[in-house]
Every structure is written in C-alpha cells, then in structure tokens.
C-alpha cells in the first residue's frame, strides 16, 4: 500500500513540474486571408490570363522609407521584397505618393513557366507613382505588365517601361467584367448600357519602348499626355496565311481608352507594324463621348496596309485637332455612330 502511494506522489509531482515548465497558451490566434483574386484578361499577342492571385498584401507592400520626389514632395519608396517573391512584384494597397527605388529588368525565357506577372499592382484610390526616371523592363517574355490596377485618381509618371506585353493597364472598379479595357477592343461588339465611373487616371512623361500594348484604360476623364510611345503591333501568320496563335487574326491596338471625356495630347507615338492584312490602330477610343485628341505626332514604321491612326467606336462629339500623321493609310476611322470635329491635322507628312 505504501509503495502504491509513493508511486502516485511521484507521478503527481512529475505532472506538476511539467505544467510549471510548459504553461497552457490561452491567447487567440487569428488568420488573415493571404490572397486577393481577380480576373485579368489580355489579348494582343499574349497568352490569355484568367483569375490569378494578386499575392499577399503584407509581403508585397512598399517599405515605409520616405524620400523627396522630383517635385519636392515626400514619397514612400517602392521596393521589391526579394525574400517574399522570386520575381519583381510590388503591391500598392493604400492611397499616397510613391516612388520607385531603382531600375528593374526581369529576364525569363519564353519557353519557361511562370514568366507572367505585374511589376507594380495597384488596388487603391488617390495614388501617385513617380518612377523617378527608372525603368521597368523585361527580356525574353511578353507575359509581364508594367503597371496594372483598379481604382480612381491614379497618376503614373516620369519613367520608362520597355519590352513588356502591356505597359500600363488601369481600370475602373466594376462588377461587370466586360468593363475591363481589353473588352473594348475592335474585335468585341459595343457593350450596351455601359456604366462608367469618374476615374481620372493620368499617364504622363512615360517612355514606352518596344511594348505590344503601351496603354489600356477604362473610365471617365482619363488623361494621356507628354509620353513617348514606341509600340510593336504584329501578328505571327504562317506561310499559308492562317493564324499561328489565337488572336493573331484580330485587330491590334497601341493606346486604348474605354470611356468618355478623355484627353490625349502632346504624345509622340511611333508604331512598328507587321500585321499582314490585320487592322492596326495607334489610338482607339470606345464610348469616348466628348473626348479631345490634340497635338499628337503619330508615325508608322513598317507595313501601311490597314493602319489607322485614330479609331473611334461609339464615340460622339470627339474633337481631333492639330495632330500629325506620317505614313498612315487611314488617319481617322469613324464607326458605330461616332461623330468627330477635326481641324488642323497634318496627314502623311514627308518621312
């Protein structure tokens, strides 16, 4: 009896010591959703994209360091978090002024997997991104987008975007996925009863170099000004004239605005074309009522066949003035009930 009591005391003492050494944890553990999903579709000589992750909020946001931008205002430095992402990716999820810390050149073989993505991804309103003269560029892949986002009052300026499939794509927020810019391409029918929000995106002082689709925007009151835009529009038809890839037999667009009251001014656009009978638009406006296109220089390099400098679809009372068109088959195309007031343009100047 005494032996059993002694064993019981020893066991009780052992559990008591263990309890003291490893106290029970009572704090709550919370979990935060890591991914935000959205549909992101691209045409124009790129592989179709569908429903992809925007990656984690916490790991991809900019660093809290602040510096002075070129205008003298303070800005939050944007920096690639290499510990969290194996390729360049920066997310902006809050309003504010941001500036890029350095050039980013991403090399990826066209035969490799995982070459798609966005350098900078914006999901916020009232955002100013100053690239501070830096470059976002790719080598070997067209699956990357320079800057992509949703919101309003987003301004992108002062830098270079080169070699990517899409330079800048900004869209209004909408529950209707057909309000994305790519669904206003010429290949798609006019969307009835399209509803636009006041986005007021501004793209200015950006140098686009060898980009398939430099600018794609949707919304009301957008501004595209003072940019140097170098676009490449080409298809890849095989010898018998049939498309080699899906989308190669569709019209191509360099700069697209889907929505009313756009201002497109003082841009120098050089478009290399090799479309073999497929329409190539330098500027394309869909639902662009009340837009103004002025003081732009548009030069085409390559095939002239089916080239259109400015295409208007379902766009009324558009003002087109003082533009220069060099080596263009059709300076202005007016379709789907569009109306235009043109003045002072210089067509097919010597080259």
The closest alpha carbon to 138, from 69, 192, 212, 235, belongs to 212
User: Residue 183: left if φ>0, alpha if ψ -120 to 50, beta else—which one?
Assistant: alpha
Q: What is the pLDDT along the chain (351 residues), one digit of tens a residue?
A: 444 444 444 444 444 444 444 443 333 322 222 222 233 333 333 333 332 333 333 333 444 566 665 556 799 999 998 888 888 899 999 999 999 999 998 888 767 777 788 999 999 999 999 999 999 998 878 888 999 999 999 999 999 999 999 999 999 999 899 999 999 999 899 999 999 999 999 999 999 999 999 999 999 999 999 999 999 886 554 444 444 444 555 778 999 999 999 999 999 999 988 766 678 899 999 999 999 999 999 998 887 888 899 999 999 999 999 999 998 889 999 999 999 999 998 987 543
∠310-314-316 over CA atoms, to 5°? 80
- How far, in Å, CA of 230 to CA of 158, rounded? 16
**What is the model's pTM?**
0.79
Q: Residues 64-122: pLDDT tens digits?
A: 566 665 556 799 999 998 888 888 899 999 999 999 999 998 888 767 777 788 999 99
Domain ranges for the chain, please list them. 35-347
- How far, in Å, CA of 294 to CA of 296, rounded? 6
The closest alpha carbon to 351, from 310, 283, 308, 299, belongs to 299
E strand or H helix at 24: none
What sign results for the dihedral spanned by CA atoms 10, 12, 15, 19?
negative
Burial class (CB in 10 A: 0-12, 13-18, 19+), 169: buried
The closest alpha carbon to 139, from 174, 165, 168, belongs to 165
pLDDT at residue number 87: 85
Q: Say if residues 223 and 201 touch (Cβ distance below 8 Å).
A: yes
What sign results for the dihedral spanned by CA atoms 287, 293, 296, 302?
positive
Residue ranges of alpha helices (H) inside 32-121 are: 57-60
**3-class SS at 15?**
helix
Q: Residues 19-51: pLDDT tens digits?
A: 444 443 333 322 222 222 233 333 333 333 332
């Amino acid at each position: 009896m005494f032996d059993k009591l002694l064993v019981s005391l020893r066991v009780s003492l052992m559990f008591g010591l263990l309890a003291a050494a490893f106290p029970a944890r009572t704090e709550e553990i919370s979990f935060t959703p890591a991914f935000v999903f959205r549909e992101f579709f691209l045409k124009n000589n790129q592989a179709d994209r569908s429903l992809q992750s925007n990656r984690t909020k916490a790991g991809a946001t900019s660093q809290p360091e602040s510096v002075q931008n070129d205008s003298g205002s303070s800005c939050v430095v944007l920096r690639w978090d290499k510990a969290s992402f194996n390729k360049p990716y920066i997310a902006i999820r809050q309003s504010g002024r941001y500036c890029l810390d350095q050039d980013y050149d991403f090399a990826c073989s066209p035969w490799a997997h995982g070459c798609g993505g966005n350098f900078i991804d914006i999901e916020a309103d009232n955002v100013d991104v100053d690239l501070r003269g830096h470059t976002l560029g790719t080598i070997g892949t067209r699956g990357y987008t320079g800057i992509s986002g949703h919101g309003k009052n987003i301004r992108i300026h002062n830098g270079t975007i080169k070699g990517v499939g899409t330079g800048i794509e900004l869209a209004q927020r909408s529950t209707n996925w057909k309000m994305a810019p790519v669904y206003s391409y010429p290949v798609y029918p006019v969307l009835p009863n399209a509803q636009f929000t006041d986005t007021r995106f501004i793209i200015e002082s950006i140098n686009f170099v060898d980009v398939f689709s430099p600018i794609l925007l949707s919304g009301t009151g957008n501004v595209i000004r003072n940019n140097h835009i170098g676009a490449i529009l080409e298809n890849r038809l095989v010898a018998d004239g049939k498309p080699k890839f899906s989308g190669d037999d569709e019209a191509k667009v360099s700069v697209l605005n889907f929505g009313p009251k756009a201002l497109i001014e003082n841009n120098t656009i050089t478009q290399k074309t090799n479309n073999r009978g497929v329409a190539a638009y330098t500027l394309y406006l869909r639902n662009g009522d009340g837009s103004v296109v002025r003081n732009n220089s548009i030069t085409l390099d390559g095939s002239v066949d089916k080239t259109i400098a400015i295409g208007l679809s379902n766009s009324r009372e558009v003002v087109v003035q003082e533009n220069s068109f060099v080596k263009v088959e059709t300076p202005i195309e007016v379709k789907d009930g569009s109306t235009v007031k043109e003045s002072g343009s210089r067509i097919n100047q010597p080259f």
